[in-house]
């Protein structure tokens, strides 16, 4: 087994590192405080090809394999999880899903826009009343001649107020549970679609998270993506790869926590010498490094399975479960190394911990990942 990166993979990782150092890291604290990432970042991400990774070049994508995608995602997460999330959603959950499930017209219409950064995508699955139990969603799409008319609401939608297209999941028949769900590509400027920014998040403050309300939103039947009633499978296939991307972002958080902890421990002196010399501080740093390396290996193993065309869904749940919990632990351990200074936002570790915290919640909570893994191992579903 060879874990050495190829020249192309090293090059794309370096490109991402340079981009983060120049265009992300210097602004991350300001974006966090103002609850507003500068939207011009999207065009920059597109220009570097980061919004087109793994998407075929004929649709404007930049190609590359899933390990390259994870390397870029890790570096973005190391710099600012709010920026990482833009890519994980617009590319990971929306563009890649259109590439996999869209018809030719949908691919030609949306993919070049999304991969260039001319358009942003968001993923509308969660509703106020249905999160973990997404298959019970209640947003309705009713066929009316050549159109569908959609009514309902969506909660916690990343990129929600920035998006040009919503990959929206709605019920098209009365079959209870996930069998009645279909997927639609809804232009965000469709009359009847309103968006409200959700303020006051614990972390990912710079990211545009929104509630969407749909009142008699009329879309042509060509907005349906994939067969009617297949929407839940489409959502789950998107989330399986999405979990790999979240895991990679979490590796970035944990790596940033390690960098910060090592740097501070070498500078901060107590009892007449750097705190790095105390064994209990070294234990904190050592624990962070184990989390970084284990999370990275789990994440890379998912990318490897995807690139070799193997089943990866359970491995993606395992990686997301471990990496998200590891990112929280790592950021918390780093905060401990910083002492009281870790608790104020002039230092980076408080933000890392706040940003990490949502990773065990979205794209399936840690409990849901355990149920997915348990189902795969026992053959018995707890859902």
Ligand X SMILES: Cc1cc2nc3c(=O)[nH]c(=O)nc-3n(C[C@H](O)[C@H](O)[C@H](O)COP(=O)(O)OP(=O)(O)OC[C@H]3O[C@@H](n4cnc5c(N)ncnc54)[C@H](O)[C@@H]3O)c2cc1C
Q: Which two tokens stand for residue 84?
A: 């990482």
Instruction: Give yes or no for residue 36 binding ligand X (CB under 6 A).
Output: no
What is the distance, to the nearest Å, from the Cα of residue 273 to the centroid of all Cα atoms in its chain? 41
Binding segment (CB under 6 A) for ligand X, from list 53-61, 95-103, 151-159, 347-355: 151-159
- Smallest gap from residue 21 Cβ to ligand X (A): 26
Which phi and psi (to 5°) does residue 161 adopt? -85, -15
- Smallest gap from residue 294 Cβ to ligand X (A): 22
Closer by beta carbon to ligand X, 156 or else 264: 156
- Smallest gap from residue 214 Cβ to ligand X (A): 14
Q: Residues 306-309: contacts with CB within 8 Å, 24+ apart?
A: 306/66, 306/241, 306/244, 307/65, 307/66, 307/67
Which residues ranging from 326 to 355 are in contact with ligand X (CB under 6 A)? none
- Smallest gap from residue 202 Cβ to ligand X (A): 9
Closer by beta carbon to ligand X, 74 or else 211: 211
Which residues ranging from 130 to 149 are in contact with ligand X (CB under 6 A)? 131-132
The site string for ligand X over 358-377 (x = CB under 6 A, - otherwise) reads x--xxxxx-xx--x------
With residue 351 as reference, give the H or E element that holds it: helix 349-357
Give the helix ranges, DSSP H, for 165-308. Answer: 231-267, 279-307
Whose CA is closest to 73, among 93, 99, 98, 102? 93
Closer by beta carbon to ligand X, 274 or else 374: 374
Closer by beta carbon to ligand X, 132 or else 233: 132
Q: Residues 131-134: contacts with CB within 8 Å, 24+ apart?
A: 131/155, 132/364, 132/365, 132/367, 132/368, 133/383, 134/169, 134/178, 134/232, 134/235
- Smallest gap from residue 238 Cβ to ligand X (A): 10
Which residues ranging from 254 to 283 are in contact with ligand X (CB under 6 A)? none
First to last CA, the chain: 37
Instruction: Give yes or no for residue 56 binding ligand X (CB under 6 A).
Output: no
Instruction: Give yes or no for residue 31 binding ligand X (CB under 6 A).
Output: no
Tell me how far CA of residue 317 lies from CA of 147, 314, 355, 360, in angstroms. Answer: 37, 5, 20, 11
Closer by beta carbon to ligand X, 116 or else 158: 158
Residue nearest to ligand X (CB): 131
Question: Of residues 74, 127, 211, 363, which has the active-site annotation?
Answer: 363
Closer by beta carbon to ligand X, 102 or else 203: 203
Catalytic residue at 74? no
- Smallest gap from residue 88 Cβ to ligand X (A): 9
Number of neighbours of residue 311 by Cβ within 10 angstroms: 11
Closer by beta carbon to ligand X, 45 or else 239: 239
Instruction: Give yes or no for residue 204 binding ligand X (CB under 6 A).
Output: yes
- Smallest gap from residue 203 Cβ to ligand X (A): 8
For ligand X, the binding residue among 31, 50, 123, 162 (CB under 6 A) is 123
Residue with tokens 């809804």: 186
Tell me how far CA of residue 290 lies from CA of 72, 174, 251, 327, 348, in angstroms. Answer: 21, 49, 11, 11, 20
Q: Helix, strand, coil % (nearest 5) of the chain?
A: 60, 15, 25
Residue with tokens 């709605």: 170
The span from the CA of 289 to the CA of 313, in Å, is 26
Which residues ranging from 154 to 193 are in contact with ligand X (CB under 6 A)? 156-158
Residues near ligand X (CB under 6 A) are: 89, 122-126, 131-132, 156-158, 201, 204, 209, 358, 361-365, 367-368, 371
Residues annotated as part of the active site: 363
């Amino acid at each position: 087994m060879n874990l050495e990166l190829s020249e192309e993979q090293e090059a794309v990782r370096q490109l991402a590192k340079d981009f983060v150092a120049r265009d992300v890291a210097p602004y991350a604290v300001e974006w966090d405080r103002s609850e507003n990432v500068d939207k011009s970042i999207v065009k920059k991400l597109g220009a570097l090809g980061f919004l087109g990774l793994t998407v075929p070049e004929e649709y404007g994508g930049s190609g590359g394999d899933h390990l390259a995608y994870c390397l870029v995602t890790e570096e973005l997460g190391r710099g600012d999880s709010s920026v990482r999330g833009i890519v994980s959603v617009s590319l990971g959950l929306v563009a890649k899903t259109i590439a996999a499930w869209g018809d030719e017209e949908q691919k030609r219409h949306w993919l070049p826009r999304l991969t260039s950064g001319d358009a942003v995508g968001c993923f509308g699955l969660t509703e106020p009343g249905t999160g973990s139990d997404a298959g019970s969603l209640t947003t309705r799409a009713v066929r009316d001649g050549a159109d569908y008319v959609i009514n309902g609401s969506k909660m916690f939608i990343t990129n929600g107020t920035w998006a040009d297209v919503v990959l929206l999941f709605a019920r098209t028949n009365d079959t209870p549970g996930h069998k009645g769900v279909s997927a639609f590509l809804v232009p965000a400027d469709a009359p009847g679609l309103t968006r409200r920014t959700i303020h006051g998040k614990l972390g990912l403050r710079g990211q545009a998270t929104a509630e969407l309300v749909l009142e008699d939103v009329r879309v042509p039947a060509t907005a349906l993506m994939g067969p009617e009633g297949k929407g839940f499978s489409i959502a789950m296939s998107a989330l399986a790869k999405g979990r790999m991307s979240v895991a990679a972002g979490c590796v970035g958080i944990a790596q940033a926590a390690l960098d910060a902890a090592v740097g501070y421990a070498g500078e901060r002196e107590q009892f007449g010498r750097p705190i790095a010399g105390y064994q209990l501080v070294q234990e904190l740093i050592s624990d962070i490094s184990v989390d970084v390396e284990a999370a990275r290996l789990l994440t890379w193993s998912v990318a490897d399975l995807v690139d070799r065309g193997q089943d990866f869904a359970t491995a993606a749940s395992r990686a997301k479960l471990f990496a998200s919990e590891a990112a929280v632990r790592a950021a918390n351990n780093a905060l401990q190394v910083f002492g009281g200074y870790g608790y104020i936002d002039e230092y980076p570790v408080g933000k890392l911990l706040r940003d990490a915290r949502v990773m065990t919640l979205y794209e399936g909570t840690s409990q849901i990942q355990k149920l997915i893994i348990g189902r795969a191992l026992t053959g018995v579903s707890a859902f």
